[in-house]
Amino acid sequence: MCDRSLTFLSPVAIGLLLLVASVSAFHVQRTTTRHATALLVDGQNMAGGARHLVGDIIRSLQPSYLRQVKETIEKRGRGSLIVDTSSMVDNAPSWEELRQRLFQVQTPSERKFRVDLERGAGDPSALANKRLFGGDTQPRVTFYRDSAAWCPYCAKVWMALEERRVSYEVVKIDMRCYGKNKPTEFLKMQPNGNLPCVVIEGRVISESDEIVDAVDQVGSSQTPRLRPRGGTPQAELFRELCDNGRNSLERRLYSRWMWWLTGVRRPAEYKDLFEEHLDEVEEALVAAPNGGPFFLGKELSEVDIRFGPFIERQIASLAYFKGYNIRDGSRPCLQRWLRAMESRASYRATKSDWYTHSQALPPQLSADCAPESGHEELQGLIDDLPVHSAVGDSIEQNNSFWIEPGWDWCSDPAAAKREAAERVIHNHADIVRFASRAAGVPGLPASAAPLADPRATPSKAAEPAVDLLLRHTVNSLLASSGRIGIFSSMSQQPGSSARDVDAAVASLASGPSGIESAQAVADCLDYLRARVGVPRDMTHTAAQQLRAELKGVSVRLRSAVGMKEKISA
């Protein structure tokens, strides 16, 4: 284990960890060289079971987690926030009215989205519970993947099923760090709790690369095989890139990424080593058969499926924590490969955004990610919604806030707003309850993932105000179709919907506990905004539109608080 995992621990804690490690070693299944990072990333080796005990203890002793526990205890001691809606004026369209407005502006294909989901047809989606191909009426594979649609190992299997057009049903299981126990029935079938897992013709397979190969074996004759035939130059190239244990480029690149992302002693050295391996990726793509753009030539292969989810996470995490932009164009063949991947429907369905990755990745690791000086600008773009950016190769110049590179295929702002509106309208009751957790009481024990709290108790008192302002948020998304939303840029003149929001906010803030109520509801909207996940909830461009509108309403609530505090003073 490299320096990143133990540098922050006291000698006593290290001794405890070594003791636990020696005891649990009797229960840990042997890990092959290919999976030497058993305590680092969910998927193959972090989804549950005795082998994760040491990783759980290491994670629980991280300073960030200890701070989180402290904050949770303080909030529980405080109790639910005060929210008084007795003076609040409901001046927003109803959910049914919003549903009708959405239908009027949707395209025919957008109106079919939910019908296609139910049928297992249409484009692949993180929301789909089944996919049927080639006239199948029943799934051939049961695919157990993470509920957050984030796990990179699950993404490999997901892409393989789509590329080989193998009909499948999805069973969603929470990853360990999100605080929920795995279902008993799943653990009976898969005792170590690992994700992904599939059942193919009665056979349970739980190692992602083996699953991809099994899917390749049963795939449609109408689609190309993912693994190259033995004895060919492509097969030898496949071995060098992916199938040569620790010596494969895939594993070496992963290892150097982890060293740099979490190491604190020699960051410059870790960066140089990572860049050397990234240059190897560029060289492999330069030398790709038949001119690429994929690793093995013109067709996507298992190599691309293995590299894709991890390079995606490397791009996001290094931008966020290091200020390092892999998409700066300095490696043109890598950029071409990324665009080729983003042209595939299978990859688009699994593709997350930099914000989601940067929030989801640290809880999966046995050490905190280590920010470096100079990361602040990119981190600010990812976390917030500034007016413009000069970063990357596909910024939407006509938008009022930053869209990260790699989303050209869904860059229409009007379509993104309709997508965001549809997702909220469809699930509004659960979303209101979820957001109201911020005014309620957090759960114990605290989840290892700061943005996950399955044991939280929502505030019933906050729900009417959250519901009202969420309807205003969706109304703004629909009213601004074809242009930037009312709240997406503070430089824009507010429209009539903005005046309605101001009136609703003023009525909430005018009550006897108006300051506390407005602050609590703003907390709820910020809570929701921080937890919009890609691709679990929607695409990045839709998420950015929703995040912008939620932020705009939250800003108005906090402004009303400031005005009332001034008057009181």
Q: Is 198 helix (H, G, I), strand (E, B) or coil?
A: strand
User: Which of 56-60, 140-144, 221-225, 228-232 is predicted with the least confidence, judged by mean pLDDT?
Assistant: 56-60
What pLDDT band is residue 100 in, cutting at 50, 70 and 90?
very high
Instruction: Inform me whether the pLDDT recorded for 445 exceeds 50.
Output: yes
What pLDDT band is residue 78 in, cutting at 50, 70 and 90?
confident
Instruction: Inform me whether the pLDDT recorded for 199 exceeds 90.
Output: yes
| Greater pLDDT, 26 or 113 | 113
What pLDDT band is residue 171 in, cutting at 50, 70 and 90?
very high
| Greater pLDDT, 451 or 462 | 462
Q: How much is the mean pLDDT over the chain?
A: 84
Domains and CATH numbers, the chain: 3-67 (no CATH), 68-102+407-568 (1.10.490), 126-218 (3.40.30.10), 233-299+301-343+354-383 (1.20.1050.10)
DSSP letter for each residue of 27-78: TSPP--GGG--TTTSTTTT-SSSGGGHHHHHHHHTSHHHHHHHHHHHHHHHH
Instruction: Inform me whether the pLDDT recorded for 482 exceeds 60.
Output: no
| Greater pLDDT, 90 or 14 | 90
Q: Evaluate whether 449 touches 361 at the Cβ level (below 8 Å).
A: no
What pLDDT band is residue 68 in, cutting at 50, 70 and 90?
confident
Instruction: Inform me whether the pLDDT recorded for 39 exceeds 60.
Output: no
Closest CA to 257 of 311, 320, 205, 190: 311
Instruction: Inform me whether the pLDDT recorded for 496 exceeds 80.
Output: no
**Which residues contact residue 108 at a Cβ distance below 8 angstroms, ignoring those fewer than 6 apart?**
none
What pLDDT band is residue 512 in, cutting at 50, 70 and 90?
confident
Q: Which DSSP letter does residue 183 get?
A: P
| Greater pLDDT, 302 or 180 | 302
- pLDDT for 346-356, tens place per residue? 999 999 999 99
| Greater pLDDT, 487 or 132 | 132
Locate the DSSP E strands across 315-392: none
Q: Is 200 helix (H, G, I), strand (E, B) or coil?
A: strand
Instruction: Inform me whether the pLDDT recorded for 33 exceeds 70.
Output: no
Q: What pLDDT is recorded for position 379?
A: 92
| Greater pLDDT, 70 or 307 | 307
What pLDDT band is residue 481 in, cutting at 50, 70 and 90?
low
Region 204-213 average pLDDT:
96
Instruction: Inform me whether the pLDDT recorded for 386 exceeds 60.
Output: no
Instruction: Inform me whether the pLDDT recorded for 192 exceeds 50.
Output: yes
- Exposure string for 527-549, b = 16+ CB within 10 A, e = fewer: bbbbbbbbbbbbbbbbbbbbbbb
Residue 89, classified by CB atoms within 10 Å of its CB into exposed (0-12), middle (13-18) or buried (19+), is: middle
User: Which of 242-246, 278-282, 424-428 is predicted with the least confidence, judged by mean pLDDT?
Assistant: 242-246
Instruction: Inform me whether the pLDDT recorded for 48 exceeds 50.
Output: no
- pLDDT for 236-267, tens place per residue? 999 999 999 999 999 999 999 999 999 989 99
Reported as half-sphere exposure (CB side, CA atoms, 13 A), residue 262 has a value of: 26
What pLDDT band is residue 492 in, cutting at 50, 70 and 90?
very low
Q: What pLDDT is recorded for position 397?
A: 36
Instruction: Inform me whether the pLDDT recorded for 82 exceeds 50.
Output: yes
User: Which of 433-442, 497-506, 517-526 is predicted with the least confidence, judged by mean pLDDT?
Assistant: 497-506
Q: What pLDDT is recorded for position 568?
A: 63
463 token code pair? 């729900």
User: Which of 19-23, 33-37, 246-250, 336-340 is predicted with the least confidence, judged by mean pLDDT?
Assistant: 33-37
How many C-beta atoms lie closer than 10 Å to residue 15's C-beta? 11
